[in-house]
Amino acid sequence: MTIQPARSYRGRLFIMMTLEFFIWGAWLPLIFGYLPSLGFSPGQQSLILNAFPLASIVGMFFSNQWADRRFDAEKFLAFSHLIGGLAILGCGFARSFWPFFLLMLVHCLLYVPTISITNSIAFANMKDPEKEFGLVRMGGTIGWVLAAWPFTFIFVDWAAVNAAAPAGLVEWVGQALAHPLSGDAAKVATRWTFIVAGIASLTLAAYSLVLPHTPPKKATEGAVEKLAWLEAVKLLRHPFVLVLWVVTLVDSFVHNLYFNWTGIFLGTAREAGGVGIASNWITPVMSIGQVTEILTMFILGATLKALGWRATMIVGILGHAARFAVYAFFPQSPGAIILIQVLHGICYAFFFATVYIFVDAYFPKDIRSSAQGLFNLQILGFGAMLANSIGPWLIQSVYTVGGVTDFRGLFMVPLISASAAAVALALFFHPPRKPVADVSGAAPAH
C-alpha cells in the first residue's frame, strides 16, 4: 500500500512542470528550419534531431537507475538542469556542426531523464495522484504554450513596424504580426530560442532546491541490489504491460509524425494541396492543441473514473486518427484544419498522461522512475526515432512527385496506424484489478 504524503505541494510541482516543458517548447518547434540555415547536411541534421530520442534510450538504462536508487530526486533535477542548461545555452552561439551536435547531445542526455524525474517527484508528493496529476501536469502544457507564443513577437521586423508608426496598442500588435522577420534575419533570430531555453533550464536548476525532499527509493531491505531498469523491463513479461508498451510505440510514432508533417502541411500553398497558412501563424495554430490540453487535463481525473484505463486510452489514440482523417479528406478547409487542432489535448492527456498515471498506480515504487522510463523509451525514444527516420523519407520520396505532395496518401499512414493501435488496445489490454506487487513472480490473473 502506498503511503501518501502528509501534505500536497501542488503549487511547487505545478511551477516545476511549467519550467520543465518551457525548456523543451522553446527550442524544438523552430529547430527544423534553423539547422539547414547553419549549412548542416541532411545527415548532420538527422544526427542532431535524433539526439533527443537517443538520450531517451540511454537514460532508460543509466540515468533512471541512478535517480531511482542513488540520488535525491530534486538534487538530481538541479544537477541535470545546471549542466544541461549551460549546454543548450551554448547551442545559441555554436555555428559549426560538431560543437552544436555535442552541446545538443549533452543537453538531451541530461534533460530527457528529468521528464521521468519530475513525474516521480510529483507522484511522491501528491495526496491523490489520480486526481491531482492532471492539474500538476497542466503546468507543463502552460509552459510549452508560454514558450511558443512570445516568439511570434520576437521574430518581428521592428524597423518596418516603427516605420508604419502605429497608433495605439491594437494597431501596434497588428503591425507586429504583419511584419515577421524573413530570410537571414529570421535565421539569426532563431538562436534566441536556445538562449531562452538555457535561461529557463538554469532557473529550474535553482528552483529545484526548494522542491520537496524526495529521497531515493532503495531496494527492499535484505534483497540483493538489482538494476532498476532491469526490474522494469521484467514487467514486460506481464501481457497487459507488453501490449501497452507496444501500443505506446505506435502512438508515439503517430504523435511524432504530426510534428514532422503538420508545419509543412499548414504552410504549403492551397493549390499544391496544403492549407496555405502564413508562415508566422503556423506555430500559433499548432499551439492551439496545447491550449486545449490545459482544459483536457482538468477533466482527466473524472474521465478515468468514468471510463477506466482502457477506454480513456482508446479515446486518446482515436483522437490522432480523427485529426489525420480531417487532414486527409478536408485539406482545402482551413477552418476545419485549425479547429481539429483542439484534439491534441485529448490525444496527449487521454493516452500519454494516462499511461504515466497507470505506471504509478500499478508498478512497484522502488522502480517507478525506471518504469516511467520504460514507457518514455517508447514515447520519447523509439517512437520519435522511428518517425524522424521514416517521416522525411515518406513525405520527400514516396508521396511527393514532381514537387507536388499527395497529402491524402501521406496522412493515411498515421490514420491507419492509430486505428490499428486502438483496436489492439481494445482486444488485448486487460490489466488486473490490483497493482503488480512482485515483478519476479508469475503474471497475475486477468
Average pLDDT over the chain, rounded to an integer = 82
Has residue 401 got a pLDDT over 50?
A: yes
Calculate mean pLDDT across residues 102-116.
Answer: 91
Return the higher-pLDDT residue of 301 and 36.
301
Return the higher-pLDDT residue of 210 and 397.
210
The hierarchical CATH code for the domain 221-446 is 1.20.1250.20
Q: State pLDDT tens for residues 268-304.
A: 888 888 888 776 677 778 888 878 877 787 788 888 9
Q: State pLDDT tens for residues 157-174.
A: 778 888 888 887 878 877
Least confident of 22-31, 390-399, 430-439: 430-439
The confidence score (pLDDT) of residue 102 equals 97
pTM of the predicted model, to two decimals?
0.75
Calculate mean pLDDT across residues 262-271.
Answer: 82
The confidence score (pLDDT) of residue 446 equals 34
Q: What are the residue boundaries of the structural domains of the chain, listed by start?
A: 8-155+190-216, 221-446
- Percent of the chain predicted with pLDDT > 90: 33
Unique residue bearing C-alpha cell 512570445? 150
Return the higher-pLDDT residue of 364 and 313.
313
pLDDT band for position 243 (50/70/90)? Answer: very high
Return the higher-pLDDT residue of 238 and 148.
238
pLDDT band for position 435 (50/70/90)? Answer: low
Least confident of 8-12, 117-121, 251-255: 8-12
The confidence score (pLDDT) of residue 439 equals 42
- CATH topology match: 8-155+190-216 vs 221-446: yes
What fold is seen in the domain 8-155+190-216? Answer: Growth Hormone; Chain: A; (1.20.1250)
Return the higher-pLDDT residue of 128 and 415.
415
